[in-house]
Structure formats: C-alpha cells, structure tokens
Amino acid sequence: MLGVFLDRDSLDRGDLDFSTLDRVLPDWRYYPATTPDQVAARIAQAEVVISNKVMLDAATLQQAPRLKLIGIAATGVNNVDLAAAATRGITVCNCRGHVTPAVVQHVFALLLALCTRWPDYQRAVREGRWQQASHFCLLDFPISELAGKTLGIIGYGELGRGVAKVAEAFGMRVVLAQRPGTVDALDGRLLLPALLPQVDVLSLHCPLTPATQGLIGAWELALMRRDAILINTARGGLVDEALLADALRRGALGGAGVDVLSLEPPVTGNPLLAPDIPNLIVTPHCAWGSRESRQRLVGQLAENILGFLSGTPLRVVG
C-alpha cells in the first residue's frame, strides 16, 4: 500500500521519530507541505493519506480512486469532506488526547503571564526601570492571584477536565458551561447568562461548529466582569476578534490570552494583532506543539493505520 503524508513539516521540525509509521506501512511519500493545486496529483495513487490541515474536499477525493484511509494528524477534521469520504467508502481517523498536557500547560502559561504581568515586568527590567527604582522592588503593574478566583470552562472534554484539575490545584473554583446548542442542563452546568457574570477567568475548549461559531460576541463580552480574563486555545472562530480587541481597549475586559485566530496563518492581518491592545497575549497556535505531544501524534497515526489494516479501525470520525 502506498501512503502519502501531505504536510509533514506542519508537525515535524526534524526532532521526531517516524519509525512507527514506516513499520506499519513501508511505502511512504513524505511531503513537507502541499499546496491546493498539488493535492490531486499527489494522492492519485495513494491508498492511505495523512493530512494535518491540507483540504480534502469532495472534488479532490474523486481523483483518488484507490484511497481507503485518511489519517488526520490532528483532532479537528474540518479539512475533510466527511460525507464525500463516507460515500466513497473511505475511512477517516483522527488523533485524540495527544495534546492534553501541552495545551493545559499553555493555558496556564497564558493565564499566569496575565495575572503576574511578568512580560511587563521583564520589559521594565530590560528598559532599566528597576535599576532606577527608589525601593528594592518594582510594583508598577497590578498582580493578582489565582487562588480563590472562579474559572469558567466551556467544553468539558479531556482538555477541559485537564484545565479544571490544574485550576483546583491553584485553589480556583471551577464552574462549567452547558454545551452550546443543547437544551437540557447536565450535571449542574450553567447557561452562559448565568456563568459569564460570575467568572474571573473564562477558558474555551469546545470545537468550532455552527452552534459555536462566534460564541463569544458582544452580548457575551458585556456579561463578563470588567476584570475578567478570556483564554482561547481552542479555535479562533469561537470569538468575535474585533469585539474582543475593542473590549480590551475600552477596559471592558481585564485581559485575554489567545493561541488561535480565525485565519491561520493571519496573512491578511487580524484585529487582535494590532499593537495598541492592552493586556493581550497572542501566541501562534503553538499550545499543542511540545515535542512529546507531536511524538504521541505520530504514534497515534501509526496505531490508526495498523488498526485499519487489521480490520479494527481506531478513532474513526463520522
């Protein structure tokens, strides 16, 4: 069987071991990246295709008559036309849970940076302000503690649970949002109108779906406390980015840490990349990118192929 990996460099920086993939399927064509006009030719003879973010739409799948398995090198599968794949009898498998330690760590890296204001203090030291201070310490930026604060979580899957566990270790109170798009409350979870006014921190961990597109907009931001912090390591489309930027500028929100934008990379710009937004940290969708996380991803891709070949496919989507 021929395997094609369309965008290997999206996860590999020369620091990963691909021997598990090579053992389950010896015949591979690895491509560092693939542009839309190259996809059809590259998968034309493939029976297994791995893609992280390369689009595999219905028209493209029609040009791959031998294709049997699509392995998504991620959890989200919005780059694949699942209905078209099902119609053609193509199995689609994703990867799950491999990023949890890395993303949970990143959530708290963003949150702690915003609460301790260490980027501001580091800049102050580099600018010589501490050296010129009249006292032994510099306290120019307000510092807040996590202990005793309330953390609201939207999306209580593996990532949300991981964040809640660490939050409790910091002494935070955790409240959970009812899943967007559902009607009946579950396990004491709160509707957003009840949850948002009481949280000091809101962390997003839900997928991007029609029900969650623009989930945090003008109405939701207005419900949040003026000193609340928003953390988004899920998907950029969950938040109205222009309104978030405006809320931060007006002091209507205490801060925000985001690792995701609505268009990535932001080749046409983004409201959250403006240089004048206070108390905002933007990182380049790297929360998932620890070496350990990426190596677990390779292992799951191999497991998915092996499971498919043995007749017991794993992590099937759709």
Predicted confidence at residue 188, as pLDDT, reads 85
Q: Are residues 114 and 211 in the same domain?
A: yes
By three-state DSSP, how is residue 203 classified? strand
Alpha carbons 258 and 245: distance in angstroms, whole number = 12
Say which of 106, 117, 179, 235 is annotated catalytic: 235
Nearest partner of 99 among 304, 262, 266, 294, judged by Cα? 294
Residue 179 annotated as catalytic: no
Does 317 reside within a domain?
no
Alpha carbons 240 and 237: distance in angstroms, whole number = 7
Does 8 reside within a domain?
yes
Say which of 88, 96, 225, 285 is annotated catalytic: 285
Alpha carbons 21 and 69: distance in angstroms, whole number = 14
Q: Are residues 220 and 120 in the same domain?
A: yes
Tokens for 221? 């931001």
Predicted confidence at residue 185, as pLDDT, reads 64
What's the number of CA atoms in the CB half-sphere (13 Å) around residue 253? 31
Residue 264 annotated as catalytic: yes
Q: Return averaged pLDDT per consecutive 10 residues of the chain, 318 residues in all.
A: 97 96 95 97 98 97 97 93 97 96 98 97 97 96 97 96 98 92 75 96 93 96 98 97 98 98 96 97 97 98 97 94
Alpha carbons 144 and 31: distance in angstroms, whole number = 47
* 244: CATH: 3.40.50.720
Say which of 23, 264, 291, 292 is annotated catalytic: 264
Q: Are residues 272 and 299 in the same domain?
A: no
Q: Are residues 169 and 150 in the same domain?
A: yes
CB 140 within 8 A of CB 195: no
Predicted confidence at residue 183, as pLDDT, reads 65
Q: Are residues 132 and 88 in the same domain?
A: no
Q: Are residues 132 and 193 in the same domain?
A: yes
CA 261 distance to own-chain centroid: 10
- Split into its structural domains, the chain has a count of 2
Q: Are residues 249 and 266 in the same domain?
A: yes
Q: Are residues 56 and 186 in the same domain?
A: no
Does 318 reside within a domain?
no
Predicted confidence at residue 209, as pLDDT, reads 87
Give residue 247's domain range: 100-282
Predicted confidence at residue 31, as pLDDT, reads 98
